[in-house]
Copies of this chain bind each other. A is one copy, B any other.
Amino acid sequence: MSNPEAQGFKKISEETQSKPAQTNPYGPNPADFLSNVSKFQLIESTLREGEQFSNAFFSTEKKIEIAKALDDFGVDYIELTSPVASEQSRADCEAICKLGLKAKILTHIRCHMDDARVAVETGVDGVDVVIGTSSFLREYSHGKDMTYITNAAVEVIEFVKSHGIEIRFSSEDSFRSDIVDLLNIYKTVDKIGVNRVGIADTVGGANPRQVYDLVRTLKSVVHCDIECHFHNDTGCAIANAYTALEAGAKLIDVSVLGIGERNGITPLGGLMARMIAADREYVLSKYKLHKLRDLENLVAEAVQVNIPFNNPITGFCAFTHKAGIHSKAILANPSTYEILNPSDFGLTRYIHFAHRLTGWNAIKTRVDQLNLHLSDTQVKEVTAKIKKLADIRQLNIDDVDSIIKDYHADVQTPVVAPVADTKVDSLDISEEPETKKQKTA
């Protein structure tokens, strides 16, 4: 995977970088008059939800390093593990509050006065309160009824507010909760002045249109902001986040690479890909996208995972084009097969041309890069040779370059007797026999 150049990819020159389309068919839907697609905020939860990822063990130093990197990237809020989870969790929370970051610091607690009393003493800018409202969680987790939940919520919220910091109230497993129970409790907490209410797809089963409906309904009940938290068990966490914003939610919970319980939540990078396709200007004005790759590498290393091969934006092949028909159009205008511009992320696109699906347009560009001159007919001929060898075995860029150079030498030079001690520039002699065999095959 190492160096793409070595594997038969080529870097595209700056001149062919994407030109923006006249109109954006992927922009905010004008019919969504409550949409926050162009004014969303991020609650970054790598240091809370992410700590619930199977492999996560963050030292204090690592937490501080990650918090600083998130702040530098531009996230609006940083959410931390509950200070009652362990002694060190509390100490780390206090330490991060003292860093003086631009991002607001939140901590995430159960809907319980014991937790709230500890939380408000840590120096956080806000407290995120959560309680299970589904029949599943009411039966198998805390065993409380809705009256108890409401009373507990009111007590905790008023206590936190009395300390002059932000407060969010969220249900857990919202999509399997009774809608009347949900709206009742959200309406109650909205009235006593929470800063935002949260919807959580705790089991990761919600689908986009279901999300849209619930957020729209909730939006008609409360005046405060709506925050959403989506798990990714069924692969919809990014789409659900986007659809929630369309419906009027304002804040999305994310974590770097999506790390969290099970296979995690909406990933920061994936959501950036989604949002920049909708409103490039807003995203570029708020977030340092060119730092995404470093941020992902930092967290991946801390929790000992690899960046997934198919990760949005930073996956090794996210901007690699292969089929001949794709390469041809990308060379003419990258927007033909790209909705994202790699340079927005400090990355580069590659055309992969050393394979049997390659086309003569990709090879022609390579011929130009090698500073050789062949007619279109000649390029088509050498492309046929490349495809023939690529049918037999995997090729790398050196193989292709040798075939091209050899062919070029052949068609340009009149046949003369070889002169002793003359070397052909830029041609690896060791590869000649293979290329020769190819030519006579």
Nearest-CB residue, chain B, relative to A22: B135
Q: Are B277 and A205 in contact, with the CB atoms below 8 A?
A: yes
What string of 1s and 0s marks CB contacts (under 8 Å) between A415-432 and chain B? Answer: 000000000000000000
B233 touches A310 (CB 8 A): no
A54 at the interface (CB under 8 A from B): yes
A208's partner among B239, B267, B273, B305 (CB-CB below 8 A) is B239
Residues of chain B within 8 A of A52, CB atoms compared:
322-323, 326, 357
Interface residues of A in 233-261 (CB under 8 A from B): 233-236, 238-240, 242-243, 246, 257-259, 261
Closest beta carbon of chain B to A360's beta carbon, Å: 13
Across the interface, do B312 and A263 meet the contact criterion of CB distance under 8 Å? Answer: yes
Q: Report the separation of the CA atoms of residues A333 and B141 in the bound assembly, to the nearest whole angstrom.
A: 9
Question: Does A149 make an interface contact (CB < 8 A)?
Answer: no
How many angstroms from the CA of A235 to the CA of B273 in the assembled complex? 8
Q: A336-B137, A337-B203 are in contact. Are A357 and B81 (CB under 8 A)?
A: yes
Q: Are B390 and A312 in contact (CB under 8 A)?
A: no
B-facing residues in A101-159 (Cβ within 8 Å):
110, 132, 134, 136-137, 139-141
- In the complex, chain B residues whose CB is within 8 Å of the CB of A355: 57
Q: Which of A81, A270, A388 has the most CB of B within 10 A?
A: A270
Contact yes or no, B208 A54, CB < 8 A: no
Tell me the bound Cα distance from A419 to B399 in angstroms.
74
Give A394's nearest chain B residue, CB to CB: B57
Which of the segments A85-93, A366-374, A405-413 contacts the partner chain?
A85-93
CB distance A239 to B207 under 8 Å? yes
Q: Which residues of B contact A234 (CB under 8 A)?
A: 238, 270, 273-274, 277, 312, 339-340
- A346 at the binding interface (Cβ < 8 Å): no
* A192, CB-defined interface residue at 8 Å: no
A365 within 8 A of B: no
Chain B CB within 8 A of A202 CB: yes
CA distance A26 to B240 in the complex (A): 13
A100 contacts partner chain B, Cβ-Cβ < 8 Å:
no
User: For the complex, is A319 an interface residue (Cβ under 8 Å from B)?
Assistant: yes
Q: Are A336 and B136 in contact (CB under 8 A)?
A: yes
B317 near A203 with CB under 8 A, answer: no
- A316: CB under 8 A from chain B? yes
**Residue A209 at the chain B interface, CB threshold 8 Å:** yes
Shortest Cβ gap from A351 to chain B (Å): 11
A233 CB, min distance to chain B CBs, angstroms: 6
Chain B residues with Cβ below 8 Å from A304 are: 1
Partner of A85, one of B277, B312, B356: B356
Across the interface, A328 reaches (CB within 8 A) one of B141, B242, B243, namely B141
* A352 contacts partner chain B, Cβ-Cβ < 8 Å: yes
The residue in chain B whose Cβ has the minimal distance to the Cβ of A259 is B310
In the complex, A343 has a CB within 8 A of chain B: no
**Neighbouring B residues of A53 by C-beta, 8 Å:** 317, 322
Interchain CB contact under 8 A, B136 and A333? yes
- Could you say which residues of chain B place their CB within 8 Å of the CB of A261? 321-323, 326, 337
24 contacts between A and B (CB under 8 A): A25-B175, A54-B317, A57-B355, A81-B357, A85-B356, A88-B391, A110-B325, A136-B335, A137-B329, A141-B329, A204-B339, A207-B278, A209-B209, A209-B243, A234-B238, A235-B238, A235-B239, A236-B238, A236-B239, A236-B242, A236-B274, A261-B323, A261-B326, A263-B317
Q: A136-B335, A234-B273 are in contact. List 8 more A-B contacts (CB 8 A).
A: A25-B205, A52-B326, A54-B352, A209-B212, A234-B312, A236-B274, A239-B239, A239-B240
